[in-house]
Amino acid sequence: MRLRPGSLAWLAAHDLTLNWRRFVDTFARLSPPAMWGVAMGCAAALHLLAWPVVLWLLRSKGGIRGLDAAALAVAMVCVLAWMTAQALLAATRLLYERGSLDLLLASPLPVRRALAAQALAIAAGSFGSVGILLLPLVHMGALLDGCAWLSAYPVLAALALAGTGAGLAAAIGLFSLFGPRRARLVAQLAAAFIGGAFLLALQVAAMLPAGLRQAAAQWLAGSWLGAALDPAVVLALPVAAARGDPVSLVLLVGLAAGLLAAVVLLLGERFRRASLGAAGAGADTGPAWRRRRRGLRVASGLGQTLRRKEWRLLRRDHAVFAQLSLQIVYTLPLAVVLVRGAESMPLVLALAPTIVVIAAQVAASLAWVTVSGEDAPELIAAAPVRRAEVETAKLSAIALPIAAILALPLAGLAMLAPASAALVALFATAAGGSTALLNLWHPMPGNRRGMLRRHSQSKLMGLVEHLMAMLWAVAVVLALVGTVWSLLPAGLAALLLLSCTPARTGPTAAAVSGPGTRACASP
Amino acid sequence: MLNKLAIEDAALQQERAAAAPALRLRGLRKTFATPAVDGLDLTVHAGELYALLGPNGAGKTTTLRMIAGLLAPDAGAIEVFGIDALADPRAAKRITAWLPDEPMLYDKLTPLEYLEFVAGLWGVERERAEVSAAGLLDVLELRRHAHTRCEGLSRGMKQKVALAGALIHDPRLIMLDEPLTGLDAAVARQVKDLLAERVRSGASIILTTHILEVAERLAGRIGILSRGRLVAEGTLAELRTAVGRGSSTLEDVFLAVTGRDAQLACG
């Protein structure tokens, strides 16, 4: 069937095609048969993993209708929060990264239609990213318990539409509130917190002393807020829909589609104005006092030159800043879970692995940004500098931001237990150093904005990076407990790193690899 | 004793450099799927502006990237002012500049910060860098935009910032890949004037361009590459004579030479 050029369906199909190609590009190194083989293998593995989970649910709950309403509601709110965060990020990216949006806005198409197509593509992306994990459960449920499980498809679609509407509205609202210069940073930070905050808030609430929790619950029950947030009122419809009630399903999908349509219709013009405002956001000249004061200040030595450049770029890169926040926010629940998991566990034991994992993740991300995300690799390759000098300078440049991020939790830990804090600092340094070196030795060229998606270049490298972080985290816990067994995971992490040492004979320089580029530097 | 030897060695190198051509390529070869550069011999004299022309895919950019140390040749030799650029790339890089068609910039740095960075990379002394940067910002009319981040600059402005970066260490050999592509007439004139001024002050330039008028007006000698080989070389007058059309333009010469080569290739 040929879609009418310029129609909403035609535009949406165009955007969906682009999204699909981007997804397929993450397997770019594989031949098409190998790619399909990997995809089918992953799908089969996910379904195999889902099978025992569904069996357990069926045995303990007796079927989809027996699922706990509160659990269903919490799961849906988490999914909705995550989808809203994704949509907020995507809408902000759309506003600032121009390209296709410029083409659409320059065309004679109505702006609301163009925006609707983009919104549908964002919703489809959200549906896919959650569905890839959730739908295997649904399929196994349908196989073992009946077709009612398939209602998850329209429920997920409704959540994607509603989340996209909310995210789009939030992006336009933030742009109006903070203006083109600050909106991007605020939106990225907001997305990080919306995405992780709900889960974190639940965990933190559970950590509160029982008395305080009861008092808060009593206050909430008696207030208008409590009445408004009563799960029986607010979440009755999606819960009924998730259990397969057809009327609720139709109502839910209708409401979600209505919300998205309303956002597009009401805010379409504002979105166009925001995108025009964002066009000049790059022409930032900085404060007037800085322009008056500054002349040329050449750094003394190559190390200082490179460090100063990296710090400037990191400070000004809103995307990197926001993505680091996202990583940290998503890692924090680990500490909460650990504290909850063992009531008698000292706080130090719960915080130590979290700090080590954060150090490993942040170091890996920053190393990737400074090495693989280098904007002008050929400039450095064409300069009369040694590769080793560049690598050393880049490593030293990322040490400061990591130290700044970890300073506060380490200081807090030092007040509780100084010796333990020193041990944690040591393991955090080892973990950060390992993952940074890994990224330095095996660059994965890409745009620095795609920091969190960097493992799409090499899934194996991502796996090694996570494994290394986990090994160091286990090692620090064992070291704090005082057992020599901590040497085992630490040794394994060191061995893993050694096994990743690159061959230094080739002309390719890790330090000068950038997006789509491989260049040789002076050895 | 060692110091004395080092000084003598440096003096010897300088002497050799003074006598040597700016660039000498011998049997340069690079093959990707097919040969991109195929046994190229080429010499650029000191103080000369040499235009390297050729149809798309002729090997111009690959040649410049090998000279700049960004690609390792499969075979052949590269000498920059007598320095073996393959054996001692750092020494060669110190006196060369490379400007690709896509400016190598950092969006989040201002032009002034970019110049600071490049000066640091090439180890230019602070005072010299300040003087050089001030002069380049004025000549290229970038002073007004010195504190604007590069992401907010137009294509032409970005190209000028990249050119300023390439020239800040006062290179003796300047390699430019399509330096005027996408520039408006006024900016193109500024760039051409600056290049002419550099040649007058003793620098050597090798540039590739598809704008034949630029080669016709600026270049002392012109080389035409086809399928990785130098198929014609000389001044415009010499090329005209060689082609046998005394009154023809460079465009006629170019089409005749590359067309003849393509016919030969087809057998």
> Cα(A440)–Cα(A462) distance, rounded to whole angstroms?
14
| pLDDT for residue A251 | 93
**Nearest Cα residue to A462 out of A360, A371, A321, A377:** A360
pLDDT in tens, A326-359: 667 666 666 666 555 555 556 777 778 888 988 8
Nearest CA in chain B to A315: B108
> Cα(B32)–Cα(A291) distance, rounded to whole angstroms?
47
Chain B CB contacts of A313 below 8 Å: 106, 108-109
Contacts of residue B171, defined as CB under 8 A and 6 or more positions apart, other chains included, come to B95, B96, B97, B203
Question: Is residue A202 within 8 Å of A74, Cβ to Cβ?
Answer: yes
Chain B CB contacts of A379 below 8 Å: 104, 118, 121, 165
Residue B82, helix vs strand vs coil: coil
Cross-strand bridge partners of residue B224: B53, B232
| Residue B118 pLDDT exceeds 80 | yes
Angle of helix A8-25 versus helix A111-145 axis, rounded to 10: 60
Provide the H-helix boundaries in A417-517. Answer: 418-441, 459-481, 487-499
CA angle A490, A493, A496 (to 5 degrees): 150
Cross-strand bridge partners of residue B233: B223
> Cα(A57)–Cα(A69) distance, rounded to whole angstroms?
14
- How many CB atoms within 10 Å of residue A126? 27
**Nearest Cα residue to A457 out of A374, A391, A371, A372:** A372
Mean local confidence (pLDDT), A50-66: 80
Most confident of A53-57, A140-144, A164-168, A366-370: A164-168
Tokens describing residue A244: 């397969």
| pLDDT for residue A399 | 87
Quickly state the pLDDT bin for A255 (edges 50, 70, 90). Answer: very high
CA distance A317 to chain B (A): 7
Per DSSP bridges, beta strands B173-177 and B204-208 are: parallel
Q: Which of B65, B99, B116, B158 to mutate to test the interface with A (most CBs of A within 10 A)?
A: B116
Tokens describing residue A164: 């996209």
Chain B CB contacts of A507 below 8 Å: 72
| Residue A64 pLDDT exceeds 80 | no
Q: Test A294 with B100 for CB contact under 8 angstroms.
A: no
- How many CB atoms within 10 Å of residue A367? 27
Of A298, A308, A378, the CB nearest to B100: A378
| pLDDT for residue B15 | 60
Nearest CA in chain B to A308: B117
Q: Test B152 with A282 for CB contact under 8 angstroms.
A: yes
> Cα(B259)–Cα(A210) distance, rounded to whole angstroms?
88
Q: Test A298 with B149 for CB contact under 8 angstroms.
A: no
Q: Test B126 with A298 for CB contact under 8 angstroms.
A: yes
Matching residue, tokens 């007040």? A415
Nearest CA in chain A to B94: A384
Buried b (16+ CB within 10 A) or exposed e, A412-438: ebeeebeebbebbbebbbbbbbbbbbb
Nearest CA in chain B to A290: B147
| Residue A519 pLDDT exceeds 70 | no
Q: Test B121 with A383 for CB contact under 8 angstroms.
A: yes
Of A284, A299, A304, the CB nearest to B149: A284
Quickly state the pLDDT bin for A72 (edges 50, 70, 90). Answer: confident
| Residue A234 pLDDT exceeds 70 | no
pLDDT in tens, A262-297: 999 999 888 888 887 776 555 555 555 555 556 667
Most confident of A178-187, A303-312, A372-381, B164-173: B164-173
Per DSSP bridges, beta strands B221-226 and B204-208 are: unpaired
Per DSSP bridges, beta strands B173-177 and B75-80 are: unpaired
| pLDDT for residue A523 | 45
- Say what the pTM is: 0.65
Question: Is residue A356 within 8 Å of A473, Cβ to Cβ?
Answer: yes
Mean pLDDT value across chain A: 79
Mean local confidence (pLDDT), A435-450: 76
Which secondary-structure segment (H or E) carries A293?
helix A288-293
| pLDDT for residue B14 | 61
The sign of the torsion formed by the CA atoms of B9, B12, B17, B21 equals negative
The sign of the torsion formed by the CA atoms of A154, A155, A159, A160 equals negative
